Structure 1
Amino acid sequence: MEAKFGKFLFLFVLIQPLLDLATAASLYSGTGSFTIGMAVRFAAMAAGVIYLLISRYLKKQALIIYGLVLSLAIGMNIATSIHYKHPVDWLEEGKFIFKSCYWMIMMFTYAAVFSQLDGKTDWAKRAQWCITVAMFITGFSILLADVTGTSFASYQYEKIGRKGWFFAGNELGAIMAVGLPVTLLVALRSPVDRSSLFYWLPSWLLIYSLLGLGTKVGYGAVFFALLTAIVAIPLEARFHPVIFRSNWRRNWTLTAAMLAAVILYTPFSPAAQNVNLHWKLIEQKEKGDEPSAKTERLKKNTLDEEQIQHLILSSRHEYLSQQKAEFREAPLMQKCFGMGYGGNYEKTPKMIEMDFHDLFFSFGVIGFLVYIAPLLYVICSIGRKAVHHWRAALNAEYILIASSIALGLGIAFMAGHVLTAPAVGLYVAVLLAYLFIRSQSLADTQNGRAKSKIRSSTPN
């Protein structure tokens, strides 16, 4: 059963960009907010729950107990909204709960399947390739949209950038950011022959697409992923020379050249132009203010804390301040179990679009602690294994997959649209499950390396 369900899960990763394109087509045509992407993802999540209940996964009992605790916390959240919150948009509340729990259930599902397949099939390489193919489809579709002149703009107003045929630019940027280190890993592990450049194509398409998107997240992800690869390559060559053999210098040189090209392109990139535009808008806004301190600051061309928040968070800190004020005035039950979707709004709900903050205010102190517990457990487990077996962890696979997770969670904290967006959350869930299971074998890797050293040093 695990093998068949595993094939379904790998196929599910492959079709993600197709679901996103179908969702975009539905939303652009105005056929409704309940899209085919949401329907398929809901069905996959339901299948994951059923699998977890009937599988032979060793941690199944712990997952069932956690599921009951999480269900109780969500039940209390709904009951609190019924009693204290008016008005309430129950459709949006339900969608938010589904979207927020999606990544978690899929992480449990992939972890269970990967643990069952571990040692039986090369599931890790298949997972890498499925994500890489999905990223190739995403990048190629954006290139095709640009070539045909049918690409949609990333922004509605002054800022520049394009997002291909996709709908949500923020989600698209997060997806490609999380996927880029994985495509780099596949390229670095490519065969040492003329065809190896073909394996770099998905990475080049993603870099092209992320830079053209025009978001700070897109540019930052490219810079961070390439820099991480530049660090990972010599580390693996030093501690695991068998893996890279003789091509690690070529890979390092190619990656460094890509980073240099990105740096040279930076002043002309849409992201840099958008930052300059944002700065000019701040200047225009503040020129209308009378206080001399602001006038002097503009003359000196310096940034204060508020302006830095504007540039980095794109005014999200203003909505954060509003939610904090609402939370301080909220009843004790809402402080414990949350104010629900959008907080205690009067007319229209408005999210901060910073996932961890949105989840905290929506689920409350107790609800948030229950919600975030699996993520903390998985990260601590991965980190503990890496510290105990640091030599084995110093390889490109562990470093680049960890950087994908770090990018995903970092974007969730700063810009949102990750843990509350199923299209993005699936990739983070798969990679968390991937590294969680792979980290269990770090001890074997390190012990095997030690034994190999002993054998090589023993005289014949």
Structure 2
Amino acid sequence: MSERIRLHIFLLLIMIFPIVDIFNGVFISYGSNIPLGTAYRIFFIAYILYGVLAKGMKQTDDYVLLLITLFSLTIICIFQAFFFATGFNLLVEEMSYVIRFSLCLLIPFFAKQFGAALSVKRLSKLTIVLDVFLIGGLIVPYVLGLGNNTYDDAAGFKGFYFATNDIAYAFLIMLFFVGWFLIQQHKPIVPASLLLILYFLNMYCLLILGTKSGLLTGVLYSFYLIGYFLFRYRSDSLHEQFFVFEFLLGLLLFLLMKGKEFLLTSLSSVIARFTYFRTLYQDDWPRLLLSSRNVYLRDAAANFSQAPKNQLIFWFGSGFENRWNWYGRKGGLIEMDFFDMFFSYGIIGTIILVAVVVHFLRVAVYQGSNKFCVFLLIFTVIYSFLVGHVFFSALSATVFGFMCMFIQVIKEEQI
């Protein structure tokens, strides 16, 4: 198999992951125990390893980081299995978190091995296809009245995706890329009309998902784009000038003609849910804004302080599965990735997570900082810290790995 074919298969496997996750959600929703998502990612990781070994591995800095990460987290999981006497089945379940996390490194690692054949233009087209699949996977079930809701029959529609916050992260990253493509219209990669349609559809998906973080971020980013085109965008041709006019006029007409009715209808369930929890939490704003994550964090800290031999747990953690089995919702899962990493894999795991983030930040600022790349990474850190479901969710870890691959290619072309 030639290198070109291996790369095409790799990009194809990335492109189809939303479809795989949708069908995986369909099987789960209708009570079928077909582990389609797990099988796909095991095959994907196996293919990455095969592709790299067949080409001849370059021992770069990310190669060393990948080896340290996989070795350390695997040893921690084995140590936990013996220390807590949890058995082989629980060890396999715990290793699934390591597999998901490894996608953050494996995808950009493969891309770096084949870096000469990748380009911003090529990955931009792949991003558009990914976005179309992600949007279709939410909007089509919504229109057909199928799928699941996060809270009840009226709030937080997530279709056949597994969790709300990880798919919200995916839509936000796609929204940022579409906005960046719009800004790059002086050297157009994708037609502006298609980008505008995708931008509005991404915002619509964030609206029906109904997450506070997703809606707030989407609105703030939209205001940034409007401000950018009004005050900072400078075009060299009448065509580009007309594009700016179209963008702003289209947005204004949408808000005037459909905005009020559309927003009130779509936001009614979100507002009702916000009002319900505000009453339930008795105006406890930190708990309301963090969706009780501050409470789960307090419970997790209490669990840790009461655990026997917590000096060892400080270094190696207790494991995701163990924590959930022991404590459930009272600190068994905080949904804040950095804290979940610490309580699950100890200070060693936390250092690994920080090292991964720092590695890609270093890539983004190497030989001249790229503001868009730095923004993507800083947003991811903030989102994972406050909202979670980035590094240990299969879907969002795949999106993060794809994003880091794109950052690498942007920087290589910039340099």
Same fold (TM over 0.5): yes
128 and 441 in structure 1: CA distance in 2 versus 1, 3 angstrom threshold: closer
Q: What is the deviation of 1:231?
A: 4.8
Matches within 5 A, 1:236-385: 237-238=233-234, 245-247=240-242, 249-250=244-245, 253-254=248-249, 257=252, 269=267, 270-283=269-282, 303=283, 307-328=284-305, 329=307, 330-342=309-321, 344=323, 347=326, 350-385=332-367
Which of 197, 214, 219 is 2:215 aligned to? 219
Distance across 1 between alignment mates of 2:302 and 2:345 = 16
| Partner Cα separation in structure 1 for residue 211 and residue 18 of structure 2 | 20
Corresponding residue number in structure 2 for 1:410: 382
Cα drift, residue 266 of structure 1 = 6.0
| Amino acid in structure 2 at the alignment position of 1:184 | G
Distance change (3 Å), C-alpha of 1:197 and 1:78: closer
Q: TM-score, normalised by structure 2?
A: 0.83
1:176 & 1:382 partners in 2: Cα distance?
22
The CA distance in 2 between the partners of 1:235 and 1:420, in whole Å, is 39
Q: Aligned-pair distance for 1:27?
A: 0.5
Is the partner of 2:296 in helix, strand or coil? helix
How far residue 144 of structure 1 moved from its aligned partner, in angstroms, is 2.7
Q: In angstroms, what is the RMSD of aligned CA positions?
A: 3.3
Matched, 1:169 2:151: no
* SS in structure 1 at match of 2:277: helix
Change (3 A) 1:367 1:145: closer
In the TM superposition, what whole-angstrom CA distance separates every residue of 1:414-441 from its partner, at most 9, and x where no partner exists? 2222111121111211111211332244
Larger Rg, first or second structure (1 or 2) = 1
- TM-score of the superposed pair, with normalisation by structure 1: 0.76
Does structure 2 retain, via aligned residues, the 8 Å contact 1:343–1:361? no
Equivalents in 1 of 2:65, 2:238: separation in Å?
39
Cα displacement (A) at 1:362: 1.5
Structure 2 CA distance for aligned equivalents of residues 255 and 406 of structure 1? 31
Query: In 2, Cα distance between the equivalents of 1:274 and 1:81?
Result: 39
Post-superposition Cα deviations, 1:20-44, rounded to whole Å, max 9, x if no partner, equal 1111111112222x62122111111
* Cα offset, 1:167, TM superposition: 3.6
Kindly indicate whether residue 37 of structure 2 is the aligned counterpart of residue 37 of structure 1. yes
Answer yes or no: is the 8 Å Cα contact 1:405–1:428 preserved in 2: no
Aligned partner of 1:162: which letter?
F
Q: Aligned-pair distance for 1:234?
A: 6.2
**Deviation string, structure 1 residues 92-121 (Cα, Å, up to 9, x no partner):** 2122222222222223223333x2225xxx
Distance (Å, rounded) in 1 between the aligned partners of 2:286 and 2:216? 16
Aligned equivalents of 1:259 and 1:87: distance in 2? 57
CA 1:38–1:259 in 2, change beyond 3 Å: closer, same or farther?
Answer: farther
Distance change (3 Å), C-alpha of 1:151 and 1:68:
closer
TM-superposed CA distance for 1:257, in Å, is 3.6
Letter in 2 for 1:109: F
Q: Which runs of 5+ in 1 are unaligned?
A: 284-302, 388-392, 444-460
Q: Give the direction of change, closer, same or farther, for the CA distance of 1:440–1:161 in structure 2 (3 Å limit).
A: same
Give the conservation status (yes or no) of the 8 Å contact 1:52–1:109: yes
Output the CA distance in 2 between the equivalents of 1:63 and 1:352: 29
CA separation of 1:253 and 1:346: change in aligned 2, threshold 3 A:
closer
User: Distance between the aligned counterparts of 1:243 and 1:218, measured in 2?
Assistant: 35
Q: Does 1:207 align with 2:203?
A: yes
Counterparts of 1:108-257 in structure 2, within 5 Å, are: 108-113=109-114, 115-118=115-118, 123-156=119-152, 160-187=155-182, 196-233=192-229, 237-238=233-234, 245-247=240-242, 249-250=244-245, 253-254=248-249, 257=252
2:407 to 435, 446, 449: 435
Indicate if the aligned counterparts of 1:80 and 1:333 stay in contact, CA closer than 8 A.
no
Count residues in correspondence. 400
SS at match of 1:163: strand
Change (3 A) 1:85 1:258: farther
Contact 2:317–2:343, Cα closer than 8 Å, also in 1: yes
Matched with 1:292 is: none
Correspondence list, 1:411-426, <5 A: 411-426=383-398
Displacement of 1:64 in angstroms is 4.3
